[in-house]
Amino acid sequence: MEHGSRTCQDGDMTDERQRPGRRSDALTKARIVQAAVGLLNDGGVDMLTFRALAVHLSTGAGALYHHVANKSDLLAAAADEVMADVLSTVGDDDPSNGIRALMVGVFDAVTSHPWLGTQLVAAPWQPAVLRLFDRVGSELTTLGVPERAQFDAASVLVHHMLGVASQYDAGLRLTELNLGRQAFIESTISPLVEADSKGHPLLSRISQQITEHEDRGQFHAGVEIILAGIATL
């Protein structure tokens, strides 16, 4: 654990930086959040515990409450840190495709942090989501969407991205913890289909979607539908 040599961010402001977990300078909210992000990336929400965090930072659990209000505050701060980082390194494409590049970039980022999607949809007014909204909005400005409709358009785009990302995360957890996608289909979808006498053509397509695992394709198709709708404004 301690020799993690994890990726982490460089460019720290601290002059003397030991390994994460070695206590050389004062506790600070930034360091706590950084350690929290590390735990979340390693093992998801279940691994983020005030006790584990305290061990990682070589301090007591109660000390953390001098810098974060509670766990909800800590999670929001962790999400905001990752989101700010992601948004700063995405969307340097040509202006015509700026909105698509932004969407794909953030989608990939959310998808590679399996805890992030759940956190974002669980608390939609947290800073990380507002940051994302704002960025999508400014991208819509360069795309020529009228101001009046920017919030609505950004909302649809953001919700689509978060929705597909959380689907992806849930799919991962499904395959990790449970038996497999085929077993999931048989245990969850089949009963629904057989309960009614309807055809349920879409449920079959959902089964296909799950087995083929093409969340990225689904994501792209949705973005195009939304952009086509936005173009009519």
Partner DNA sequence: ACCTGAACACCGTTCAAGT
Q: What is the dihedral of CA 152, 154, 157, 162, to 10 degrees?
A: -110
Closer to DNA by Cβ: residue 39 or 82: 39
Closer to DNA by Cβ: residue 59 or 138: 59
Residue 212, class by beta-carbon neighbours within 10 Å (0-12 exposed, 13-18 middle, 19+ buried)? exposed
For 228, residues 6+ apart whose C-beta sits below 8 A from its C-beta are none
Q: What share of the chain is helix, strand, coil (3-state, %, to 5)?
A: 70, 0, 30
Provide the binding-site residues for a copy of itself, judged by CB under 8 A.
118, 121-127, 130-131, 133-134, 136-138, 141, 147, 149-156, 158-160, 162-164, 166-167, 170-171, 174, 184, 188-189, 191-192, 198, 200-203, 205-206, 209-210, 218, 221-222, 224-230, 232-233
Q: Whole-angstrom Cα distance, residue 31 to residue 67?
A: 10
Q: Which of 33, 41, 109 is nearest to 71 (CA)?
A: 33
* Residue 51, contacted partner among DNA, a copy of itself, none, CB below 5-8 A by kind: DNA
Check binding of 29 to DNA (CB under 7 A). no
Q: Which of residues 45-104 bind DNA (CB under 7 A)?
A: 48-52, 58-63, 65-67, 70-72
Chain residues binding DNA by CB under 7 A are: 1-2, 9, 23, 26-27, 48-52, 58-63, 65-67, 70-72
